[in-house]
A and B are shown apart, each in its own frame.
Chain A
Amino acid sequence: MEVMTVLRRRGFLVSAWPWRSLAYLVTSTISGALVLTVVAAVLLVGGTLASVLVGLPMLAALAFAGVPVAAFERWRLRLMDAEPVTDPHRAPDRPGVGGWLAVRVRESATWRELGFTILLATILWPLDLTIAAAGAAVPWALLTAWIPVLSGGRRGLWPGVAIHTPGQAIAALPAGIVLLAAGAYLVTVVAAGRAALTRRLLSPRPDEAALLLAEVTGSRARLVNAFEAERRRIERDLHDGAQQRLVAVATSLGLAMLDLPPGPAADHVAHAHREARKALVELRELIHGIHPQVLTQHGLGAAVQDAADRSPVPVALTWDITGRMPAAVEATGYFVVCEALANVARHSGADHAWITAAHTGDTLRLEIGDDGAGGADPSGGSGLTGLSDRLAVVGGTLALASPSGGPTLLRVEIPCPKPVPSVSSSPRTAP
């Protein structure tokens, strides 16, 4: 929050800011006092019981007191600041209290939060209380002084200072208004400072943020790998199950056709045989679409050659890589090539397409081009968004050049270690 701009803004005094700031300080006071009470109670009880050992875990638990307090403070911060504060903690590696403790005790955030809690319980909340009282309670006392005065009483302001007469009460009104306005500024400035301090202490440090980001990327990669494994499993199941049974049925029908005399029965069997054959062709295509075995077995080069062979638009392939790359890279590369070739066939109207692949340094570079109409729009939902998403998981990037009138060139770069040599990883090329 840019507190200075808010303060300079016209209409600040009638805006919600003074009230939000006041609420922030008041809730701080309440929660701070509560924390102090609880901590003091635990120290007292735990200290007393320390001799009988029960007290020691209680005292040890205090070390983690900062975690819930900080969580509440981060939540409370939303009163002052629209931008949420990220939780600096990692998710525990394993479930249960043990796993939670094991992770938390090693995190510097835990100890920062404990420090913040001590600060809150000792200094911050009394300070917040003082400011809230000075900024709001004093003007309030002045402005409402006439109520007790009218009924014959008095309004005490300070030990030995009080408003007794209606005249004093009326004089207190303008003073109260001026102090109220001043209090609004005071409360807001202090609350903003207090919020900034909280944000500074309780947000993730840069290294923690990087760790959290790495975790997100890692979990996304795990998800993609899980999908990939599942596809492989489905492919295997279909192959070992449905496809085998269908072949068995069709083979039996084929044998029956040999022995049946011509007639309606033979015709029916022949019909069934034809249908079973069609079903097998469809099933084979389906299985190939789910996860091509050629990719697992012979690597990206052979799989890309296979995809190029299937493309209705003739594809010239230049493959300058020997060896296998990590499974995730190969799967992503294959996905990219298939999507790109599908786009070429569907949208480009091209007569020729070409694919070049090279590995330099630690980058796999794939280029897919066509001599079609061009004008491919990355934002047009042409599957390019899906490509970028898929590439992001392996840290890859995508560049598209597709001027109207063509040609279209899609360049993809994926970070990838030097390919591991293998015997059958590259497609067969002309000598």
Chain B
Amino acid sequence: MPEARPLRVVLAEDGALMRDGLIAVLTRFGHEVVQAVADAPSLATAVETHEPDIVVTDVRMPPTLTDDGLRAAIALRERDPRLPVLVLSQYIEAASAGELLDSTDARAVGYLLKDRVIDVTDFADAVRQVAGGGTVIDPEVVRHLLTRRRDPLDRLTPREREVLALIAQGHSNTAIAQELTVSAAAVGKHINNILAKLDLPPDAEVHRRVLAVLTFLRS
């Protein structure tokens, strides 16, 4: 990935320690946290004020301390479908991930376990991917979903599932090839098989990848 311009980030996180940690990481990778807020209503206001490149928000936040952050993120996307949103959750929950993806066309959206921030480089990559229109789904969500055996994913071979899981995490073909220690050509073949088996229309490949992820998550 080429050295990109710094991102202007609006951050919503009610825990002070966590908030400081996130700011430290984002700043270290050259981004600017234009405003950090601690509850869902302030998040909406901050986004309106700053028009950031990406919103990073916790799920559980005041006022109700349930899933206010997720609701706020969904509401923000409804108002501006192009606004990149990365949602952080204390625990993994496929239902929330699905809700978030359903509310969008699954572009420029991410759902990650909060703990992922400790792997600072990976986290920074994820922020960058979401800001660039990509989809990042936590490996843990993917692992959960993989244990459900349902059509049409049943038609996939274990290797193809593995590749699909990596796509869902937002990896590029090259990254997947590295991860699985196979050639990029082999990855391309797997992806074509996956798209064919999931009956996805022959369209631009990026879009089909997104649809594949959606099929995967909605199964």
Contact = CB atoms under 8 A, between A and B. Distances in A.
Nearest to B153: A430
Nearest to B146: A309
Given A245-B17, A298-B93, 12 more contacts: A240-B15, A251-B25, A252-B21, A284-B113, A284-B115, A294-B93, A297-B93, A305-B94, A309-B145, A316-B149, A428-B98, A430-B151
Given A247-B117, A277-B118, A284-B115, A293 B94 contact: no
A253 B119 CA distance: 9
Interface string B37-68: 00000000000000000000000100000110
B93 A239 contact: no
A255 B25 contact: yes
Interface string A98-123: 00000000000000000000000000
Contact of B21 (A247, A314, A427, A431): A247
A244 B147 contact: no
B114 interface: yes
Q: How large, as a class, is the contact surface on chain A?
A: 35 or more
Interface in B152-207: none
Contacts, number: 107
Given A297-B67, A305-B94, A280 B118 contact: yes
18 contacts: A245-B17, A247-B18, A250-B115, A251-B118, A252-B21, A252-B24, A254-B119, A255-B28, A258-B121, A280-B118, A284-B115, A297-B66, A308-B147, A308-B148, A309-B145, A314-B149, A428-B218, A430-B218
A297 B25 CA distance: 30
A296 interface: yes
Contacts of A142: none
B72 to A, nearest CB: 15
A310 B143 CA distance: 9
A247 B25 contact: no
A296 B66 contact: yes
B167 to A, nearest CB: 19
Interface string A48-92: 000000000000000000000000000000000000000000000
A251 B151 CA distance: 40
A45 interface: no
A173 interface: no
Contacts of B115: 247, 250, 277, 280-281, 284
A362 interface: no
- 7 tightest CB-CB pairs across the interface, nearest first? A250-B118, A251-B21, A254-B120, A309-B144, A248-B17, A302-B95, A244-B17
Interface string A284-297: 10011000111011
